[in-house]
Structure formats: structure tokens, C-alpha cells
Amino acid sequence: MGEIEGSYRVLQTPGTRLGAQFNAGISTLEPGQSLSGNMVSGSKSHGRGLQIRVQGLDDSQEFFDIDVSCTLSIPSPLCIYTALSLQFVTHLEVSCLIVWLEPTKPIMKQVRRPANTLFRLSVKFFPPDPGQLQEEYTRYLFSLQMKRDLMEGRLICTENTGALLASHLVQSEIGDYDDIADRDFLRMNKLLPYQEKVQERIMELHRRHLGQTPAESDFQILEIARKLEMYGVRFHPAADREGTKINLAVAHMGLQVFQGHTKINTFNWSKIRKLSFKRKRFLIKLHPEVHGPHQDTLEFMMASRDECKIFWKICVEYHSFFRLFDQPQPKSKAILFTRGSSFRYRYKICNLSSTDSVVDSPQLSPFNSKGPLCLSPSFQMSTLSLPGQTPSPLQSPILSEVGSNARLEEEEEGRRKRFPTDKAYFIAKEILTTERTYLKDLEVITVWFRSAVIKDNAMPEGLMTLLFSNIDPIYEFHRGFLKELDQRLALWEGRSNAHVKGDYQRIGDVMLRNMCALKEFTSYLQKHDEVLTELEKATKRLKKLETVYKEFELQKVCYLPLNTFLLKPIQRLMHYKLILERLCKHYSPAHRDHDDCKEALKEVAEIATQLQSSLIRLENFQKLTELQRDLIGIENLTAPGRVSAMERRVGGEFIREGCLFKLTKKGLQQRMFFLFSDMLLYTSKGVTATNQFKVHGQLPLYGMIIEESENEWSVPHCFTIYSAQRTIVVAASSKVEMGKWIEDLNMAIDLAKKSQEKSSIFLDAELGDHSNRSSDEVSLEQESEDDMNSSRTSLEKQTHHRANTTMHVCWHRNTSVSMSDHSLAVENQLSGYLLRKFKNSNGWQKLWVVFTNFCLFFYKTHQDDFPLASLPLLGYTVSTPEESDSIHKEYVFKLQFKSHVYFFRAESEYTFERWMEVIKSAASTTGRMSLLIPKGGPMEINGN
């Protein structure tokens, strides 16, 4: 985001507070013009002088002498940068409007009486993540804007959030907590409209910020503010066609419509074809595919033509600033006639024309649009698919060929030569990259889910306290840990300009310090069992919470089942342990980093051992709740009687799920099987968009017998399951798959036999019609049309489900996954940048890739909130390229499933080996995908 490093450096200088070098950021000066020579008083200006009064972001006021013909894009004592600008109030007949100064137009032509006007420096463009601004001083200015918005009531939030923001502002201004100093400061400074009401809360929160620097306080303020719905929102009153009063606003992603303070609609830039205004009417013309060809123009009425034009100009500027890169050359003025507005922004938008004025939004590809701050690619991707459409796990991820050029490859080659090559560096970098993903995963709960339940007041206060009091401290700790890791890797790579001397090509000291600190959170982690259980109970008991929970799981940010994210803190301990083991193995005992790494490993291993049994229990419970939501016809997978038995490893432990073909009167029919430590379920996939599975049979394991029977039925990879209620014949997709099923079934049957417990609580009365059959009779199942219709009705009442869960991938790829596979996948989570290439494409595309839950998730950058696409790996093979692939690069691996082929390129031998390792843990073994059914179609078998 370096392109919007705008700041106003005459009104306020960094001073000793920041202790950083002056950096001019991106200036509005023309090429070749100097900044330093023009930051002087107005006495050096030529021509007529003019004195104007400017209020800074800290509310101080200063006078400046400028030339009357001054514009903000030429050298002057008033240097304004792109992210911030000056605004003033203009008095009209019907109202007073806030107007922004245009950077290329003389001030005298914009303001009638400049000497009598108060100009106010303000943030004009609000990036989606201001915390990513590189300049500390710029972040400081943005935090001052948040302070102003908070006080003026524009940054609307709860009292608790307001108090938290105020506490960081106090820390920024006066440093660490002191009771007397805090009270004096809050008495003299107004930070909140309701400050007296929450003053004690502000001081309590301030006490927690001990040791936090002003720069860190600024960052915290921006992090909190950016997640509020009213961040950067500036209302422009209007009315819709029915006369209903609404407010229009513009943001980096497009236009927003509010009713009161509630956002009721958003129109992304990619959906807008044209913006225009005609007198008091503001018009938004959408692409036909958004609302259909007969409803493509939205009309809003504003109070006056001036208000309409002002809002239109702001929309033009926002679109230009966040979407465009190349600045078109200004058109020559018409000699006789002109039509439409002559307004141009410095990053100009195209094709201005119409009765009053129109802006055509270029039909930019979401991936090819460039600009000083382009839209987040993850946000852009959301406009490419229609609601309700879910791709099959068999489909390739839809990503464009961005970056497929020689320049990218040159940059990557240069980077490889410039950065360290030591294996320890790449192991340390793996800690950093996976920590980034881990922190984003925590935000799914601490930020996004919290916002959802608070918005609808859906969660009881007791559960809110239990959930967030446990995960918030962990989240805050890891934010600091990530910052330490980032700084250390920056020093290791030599890309930091810090004035600190020393040997920083090590990571053990950082790991030891933080692994010791993690011990303090053991009590929090031990409560995650209770948190997961209570959350599940509450969703069953409270309809509103259940609705919010299900709707939240459908959001793109929740890219895994929601309760999966609650397991991440304990799983992360296992990751630290494995990575530190690799470091200790790499280092010789004499290495300066060895002892710290060994001690750090000892610390984290101690915590991991304490929580190992809890993790096994939680992973099993999470899997049961996930299956419960995806299965129709069974309601007690997580019943207390089954869950309590998990500690004895019987009665409720998930073992394997996968696809088998069941012999019926229609021949071999695809079924999804689920093996638990007390029963075997088999299901069929629903016929509607919900993607749920309907249970057709439940077989208790006690007394069950498994027998191979290929010769008897002349079906490859076939075996028979004899249970007390019925006998069924099933076939696997390969010999390997059959072996896995038979091994797990026999193991589970032995456990059930040893327990001497017959579980009868799961026999569904609806499925009791088969109970009179003899044990040696083969069940040739045939579903009636009534059954299918009834299941369809119940399915349609459900919400749409994610299609990349292991259940659905197993179904599409005729394979299976065991709980041990899940545990292995958890240990092998990985994140980092990879270059990706399609089989028939020429260039490479750089993507941030996350491996988790048997899937690769693709992001444009590590800062994106949700993935662009996912690639389930079950069934894929991973190998190195062959000669015929014509890949002449190092560290490339090949992924293939049938005709789907991808090539991925890592940055080093270590990262290449790690990606190969984790993908092999998720992809199928050789032979798993062998064909089951002959080309002639399924075999018809007539049963009695």
C-alpha cells in the first residue's frame, strides 16, 4: 500500500514522538520539482499573496501565505498528498455542504472568500486496512482522523469498543497508565461523546497497554476502527424512488446505501457500468447481469444539484484512487461549446459525458485492474459467481493468469539471489508464514463471528464471556508474537532499516521467549473443551443463534466449518513442536541458536503433552458436529451418552468416512459410509443444492462380521457386511480402499466386542422395517419415489452447504478419509507464496497458498480475508514434472487428477520438500482411483 502514503507534513512535523526519518511519501508535485525548496513562508511567493487558515488533524490552527493562483499540485507552502486533503464548508440556499479542494484548480476559483474560510485537513480516502500503511507518520495521521470521527459521532460503535479505542488514544498521548495522569487527561480532553459514562472502563483498559509505544497504539486504533461498519463512511442524504429517506456513501469497494445507520446494500465497482447525475437525480447504471436487462438503472433523489454533483465527484475520485493506475492525458478544451462537467481527478476516470455529467466505469477484469490501491482480489472474486452457485470439488479453481510475464520471473530470480539460502532461514520463515494464517484464522472468531452475533444479539451473555474471554487473550498474544517474527525475519533478510546492531540470523531466542509466555495461556486452552461443548448446546437450544451460526458458515471468510477454528490454538502448539524439532535436528549442538531452540522445544512439548488428550477429544467432537449438520435422518451423533464414552475410546468415536458402492436391486449404487466406534451409517446424497446426505441404514458393530466376497458376486474389490439387522454387499473403488475399510471395520468391531456394551440408542425406528430379515439375507435396497420426495422436501428447508468438505470430496472422487488421516493433515498445515502455472499456460502466477483440511486455498496476498478459490487434494497425485511437461525450473512439483494438471514452484529446496510432504499426506496413494465399474455400465444383479 505504499502508493497511498499520503500525509500533510507542513501542518505537523513528526517531531520526537515518532523518531523516524522524514519520508515524503507520494507527492502531488510534478516530476522534477523539489519539495524541500518550497516548504517556506509565503513571503517568497510571486504575485498577489493570500493568507488562509487551516485546521490540522490535531485540531490546531495555523495560517499560511500562498499565491492567489496556487493549486495543490504545484510547489507551495501547502503540500498536500494523495490520501489526505483539505475540505471546507460552502453555504448554499438550502444547506451547508462540505466540499473538497480540487488539487489541480486554483483555490480562488473554488472558494469565494478564502481568507474568511476555515480549511480542515482530513483523510479523504480510507483504505480497507490502514494498519498496512508503511509510514508510521501516515498511520499517526489516520489515527488522529479516527479520534476525530469518534468524538464527532461518525465512527459509531458499542460503548465497550469506544472505550477500547479511547484507551489506546490515551496510551498514545501520555504513555503507560497512571491513575492521576489518566484522570487529568480525560478531564481535559474529550475523546467520546459519552466519555463520563465509560471513564472507569477506559482507565481499566488503559492499564492493560503497559509498554505499548505510540506507534503500536496507532496500529491498534486502526485495526479496531477498520473492522467497524462505519469506518470511513461519510453520509450523503438522499431518497429512493418511493421517497424513503436513505444515505449514500462511497468506499474503496464501491457505493453503499444506508437506512439510518444500517447498511442495506452495496454496489461493487465491478457491478457498476455508469455513474451519472441529472439535476437532483443521482443515477447508477448496473451491468445487465446484476439485476437483469429491465432493472439496470437505480435512481436516487438528492436535495439539490450541487449536492448531487459533489457526491458524484467523490465517487469519481474514489473509483480513480482505488481502481485506476494510468493517468490519461487531459483533453484539449473545446473552443466554442462544451458539454458535461469538466471535472477531472488526477487519477482520472474515463468517458465523461451526458446532460449534466456521467462517468463510465471501465469494464476492468477484477484481476487486471490496477491502481494506487486496487480492490482486494478476494473481494473482487466475490463478484464472479452468482449466489447459490457452488463449484464441484472436481472443478479447477478459477484464477486468472495474472503475473504471467517475464518481469515476474526476473523479480523472483533476483529475490532468490538476494535473500538468505540457509535452511534455518526457511524453517524460520515457515513459522512466520503459518503464524500469519493462524492469526487470520483466529480473526474469524474474534472479529467476524463476534460481529455477527453482536449485530443480531444472538448469543447469551454468559456464553459470550466464556467464548471471547478465552480466545481474545490468545489472539492478542499472537499478534505481538507475529510482529516479533516479522521483525526478526526482516533483519535476517536485511530488508529492515532499523539502527540495531547484532547477529539476528537466528530465531531460537524469539521462540524461547514466546513459548515460555504461552504457558500462561494453558488454563485458557484447557477451557476450549467447555467452549466447544457449550456453543454446540446453545445452537441447538437457541433458534436465533443457530440461524446466525449457519449463515455465518456460508460467508467466504468462514472457509472451514466454524468450530474448526476453535481447535486452532491447541493445534498450533503441535505445529510449533514439529517446527522446533526440525530446527533442532538441523542445527549442530555447537550452533549459537541450538540451545535456545532446544529449550523452546522443551517448553512447548510440555504444554502440548498436557493438552494432547484434550485435542483428540476436541477433534473428534468437532468432526461429529460437522457430520451432524450434513446428515439428515439422525439427530444424536453428539448425544451425551456417546460423547462421554469418547474418553473410553468407544461409543462415539469417528473412524472413517468415504464412498462405497452398495449392491441393490438396481445394481451397484453409490453410497456414502460413516464408520464410528459403535456403528456404521450409510447414506445417499441429496438431490437439491443443500448437498446434505440422507441416512438409509444404521448397523451396530457389536456382533458384526466382515467377509471378502469378490468371487461370489463377480464384482471387483467387493466384501460383505453381516450385522444383526441385515446383510449388505459393498464394493470399493480399488483394492487399497477395500483394504482400508476392512482393516478399520475389523478394528472397530474388536473394540466394540471388548467393551461388552451393546449400543441400542441409535437404532432409528424409521429404519426398523428391515429388522425381521434373517442375518444371511442380502439387503438389495430400492428407494421408493416417496422416500426421495420426502427427503427432497426436508433438504430444501436447509441452507446451502460448502462443497469442499471431506464428505463431499470423498463422494465426488470415490475415496475415503480416516480420523488418523485428519490428524496427520492437522500436523502438516502449511502457508506461503508459490508460483502457479496451468498445463497449457506460458507464465507463472504468484499466489498466497494455504494448506489445511486436505485442501489448497488460494489468495492473492496473505492480507486477504478470504480465499479466491480452493483445490481439494483427495485423489490427486503429486510428483515432479516429466520431460514432456517442458518445465525447466527448479523446485517445481506437479499436481494431477485425471485431466486437471497444475505446476507449483517453490522458492527453495526446503520449501519444495515441505510442500511435497504435506500434499502427499493429503493426496491419495497409487491405485486409489482405479475404475470400479466397467465401461458397459453398472452390473445388473437380480435379488430375491
In this structure, which amino acid lies at residue 936?
G
User: Which band of pLDDT confidence, cut at 50, 70 and 90, is reported for residue 411?
Assistant: low
CATH value at residue 584: 1.20.900.10
281-286 and 705-708: which strand pairing?
unpaired
pLDDT at 544: 93
Residues 68 and 115 in one domain: yes
Residue 508 falls within a domain, yes or no?
yes
Range of the domain at 853: 829-923
Residue 799 confidence (pLDDT) above 60: no
pLDDT at 935: 34
User: Which band of pLDDT confidence, cut at 50, 70 and 90, is reported for residue 394?
Assistant: very low
Reported as a single tens digit per residue, the pLDDT across 246-290 is 999 999 888 999 888 888 888 888 888 888 888 889 999 887 754
CA distance 247 to 667: 62
pLDDT at 711: 67
Reported as a single tens digit per residue, the pLDDT across 570-628 is 999 999 999 999 999 999 999 999 999 999 999 999 999 988 888 888 888 888 888 88
**Closest to 270 measured CA to CA, from 292, 255, 259:** 255
Residues 93 and 187 in one domain: no
Residues 460 and 606 in one domain: yes
Are 861 and 874 within 8 A, CB to CB?
no
Residues 590 and 726 in one domain: no
Residue 637 falls within a domain, yes or no?
no
pLDDT at 891: 93
Residue 7 falls within a domain, yes or no?
no
pLDDT at 422: 84
Residues 143 and 95 in one domain: no
pLDDT at 667: 84
Residues 732 and 661 in one domain: yes
CATH value at residue 861: 2.30.29.30
User: Which band of pLDDT confidence, cut at 50, 70 and 90, is reported for residue 442?
Assistant: very high
pLDDT at 409: 53
Contacts of 111 (CB under 8 A, 6+ apart): 88, 90, 101, 117
Residues 153 and 188 in one domain: yes
Residue 370 falls within a domain, yes or no?
no
| Domain final residue, candidates 226, 253, 282 | 226
The rounded percent of the chain whose pLDDT value lies above 90 is 29
Residue 240 falls within a domain, yes or no?
yes
| Domain final residue, candidates 205, 226, 247 | 226
Reported as a single tens digit per residue, the pLDDT across 825-879 is 777 889 999 999 888 777 899 999 999 988 999 999 998 888 988 899 888 889 9
Reported as a single tens digit per residue, the pLDDT across 682-733 is 998 865 556 788 888 889 888 899 998 776 667 888 999 998 878 999 999 8
Residue 943 confidence (pLDDT) above 80: no
SS3 letters across 547-588: HHHHHHHCCCCCCCCHHHHHHHHHHHHHHHHHHHHHHHHHCC
**Closest to 932 measured CA to CA, from 773, 815, 763, 770:** 815
Reported as a single tens digit per residue, the pLDDT across 330-379 is 555 544 444 555 554 443 334 322 334 443 333 322 223 333 323 222 22
Residue 897 confidence (pLDDT) above 60: yes
Mean per-residue pLDDT, 559-568: 91
- The larger pLDDT score, comparing residue 713 to residue 38, is at 713
| Domain final residue, candidates 207, 226, 245 | 226
Residues 845 and 914 in one domain: yes
User: Which band of pLDDT confidence, cut at 50, 70 and 90, is reported for residue 437?
Assistant: very high
CATH value at residue 54: 3.10.20.90
- Cβ density class 593-604: b for 16+ within 10 Å, e for less: bbbbbbbbbebb
Reported as a single tens digit per residue, the pLDDT across 741-761 is 999 999 999 888 887 554 444
Residues 107 and 139 in one domain: no
Mean pLDDT of all residues belonging to the chain:
74
pLDDT at 632: 85
Which three three-digit cell numbers place residue 193? 461523546
DSSP states along 475-487: HHHHHHHHHHHHH
Residues 111 and 135 in one domain: no
Residue 96 confidence (pLDDT) above 90: no
**Number of separate domains in the chain:** 6
Residue 151 falls within a domain, yes or no?
yes
pLDDT at 596: 94
* 913 phi and psi angles, rounded to 5 deg: -65, -35
Residues 919 and 847 in one domain: yes
Residue 98 confidence (pLDDT) above 80: no
Cell match 482530513: residue? 122
Please work out, in degrees rounded to the nearest 5, the angle formed at the alpha carbon of residue 793 by the alpha carbons of 792 and 797: 110
238 φ/ψ sector (left φ>0, alpha ψ -120 to 50, else beta): beta
CATH value at residue 173: 1.20.80.10
- The larger pLDDT score, comparing residue 434 to residue 23, is at 434
Which three three-digit cell numbers place residue 418? 538476494
Residues 611 and 533 in one domain: yes
Mean per-residue pLDDT, 876-889: 90
Residue 562 falls within a domain, yes or no?
yes
SS3 state at 532: helix
pLDDT at 944: 28
Q: Strand pairing partners for 662?
A: 669, 730
Q: Count the neighbouring beta carbons within 10 Å of the beta carbon of residue 415.
A: 11
pLDDT at 446: 92
Which three three-digit cell numbers place residue 588? 549442530
CA distance 467 to 99: 45
SS3 state at 752: helix
- Cβ density class 636-647: b for 16+ within 10 Å, e for less: ebbeeebbebbe
Cell match 510440555: residue? 606
Are 155 and 146 within 8 A, CB to CB?
yes
Are 42 and 49 within 8 A, CB to CB?
yes
* 486 phi and psi angles, rounded to 5 deg: -60, -45
Residue 509 confidence (pLDDT) above 70: yes
Reported as a single tens digit per residue, the pLDDT across 112-130 is 777 778 888 888 888 888 8
pLDDT at 89: 61
Residue 309 falls within a domain, yes or no?
yes
pLDDT at 73: 44
SS3 state at 83: coil
pLDDT at 352: 27
Handedness of CA 745, 746, 748, 752 (dihedral sign): positive
